[in-house]
Amino acid sequence: MPVVVELFTSQGCSSCPPADALLKELGARDDIIALALHVDYWDYIGWKDRFAQPEFTQRQRGYARAGGWGVIYTPQIVVNGSEDVVGSRPERVRDLLTHHAKRDAQVTIALTRGTDGALRIEARPLGDGGPWDIHIVRYTPGKTVKITKGENRGRTFDYGFIATDWDMAARWSGKAPFIGDVPMVYDQPVVVLVQEPDYGEIVGAARLR
């Protein structure tokens, strides 16, 4: 299973650009699924992050509660929904990725697009487990943004793997294979995650570019 890397970041955070660049590098690898979740709580310092969504801030707070971390911050990387690390510390990030790459998948996922554009999800358990939530994440591969206000004013950045829509498609018992179709109105890249409820561990992941 690919290792899932969620970066909680903000265009208004002066500490985030190195983590944003690292995520772009990691996301180019086939064995990693990288997602940039832009949060909105830095908007007050002068620059409104055009990618930020309150739902992503809520997800970050959910991880903090579930993991007992106490605080949220940027840049924060969460790996496979279970461990966090400061996103601007590349060696620590890579150590964590190496550790998680050794874990066995609990679920296999196959993704295909039908002639009508619908996304077909086929997930199969590899042992006892569940229930699990099936999440669908649409993302934009890359965008260039010139920052004109706030801590990063006057700088231009290339952002990658920007999450744009996040939906929970189903709650799956995990006792039998799951097959479902999700309407898709365009061919935006998509990631499907199988995750333990209440911000638990990600046990399966797949990407369709």
Q: Where are the domains of the chain?
A: 3-208
What is the pTM assigned to this prediction?
Answer: 0.96
Helices (H), 49-107: 54-67, 90-101
Taking residues 126-152, what's their average pLDDT?
A: 95
Q: How confident is the model at residue 80 (pLDDT cuts 50, 70, 90)?
A: very high
- Around Cβ 94, how many Cβ atoms within 10 Å? 13
Contacting residues for 22 by C-beta, under 8 A, at least 6 apart: 87, 88, 90, 93
User: Minimum mean pLDDT among 52-61, 79-88, 109-118: which range?
Assistant: 109-118
Q: Which comes out higher in pLDDT, residue 109 or 117?
A: 109
Q: How far apart (Å, rounded) are the C-alpha atoms in residues 185 and 52?
A: 22
Place of tokens 């952002």: 159
> What pLDDT is recorded for position 188?
83
Dihedral of CA atoms 53, 54, 55, 60 in degrees, nearest 10, equals 100
CATH number of the domain at 3-208, please? 2.60.40.10
> Token pair of 153, please?
């004013």
Q: How confident is the model at residue 55 (pLDDT cuts 50, 70, 90)?
A: very high
State whether residue 55 is helix, strand or coil.
Answer: helix
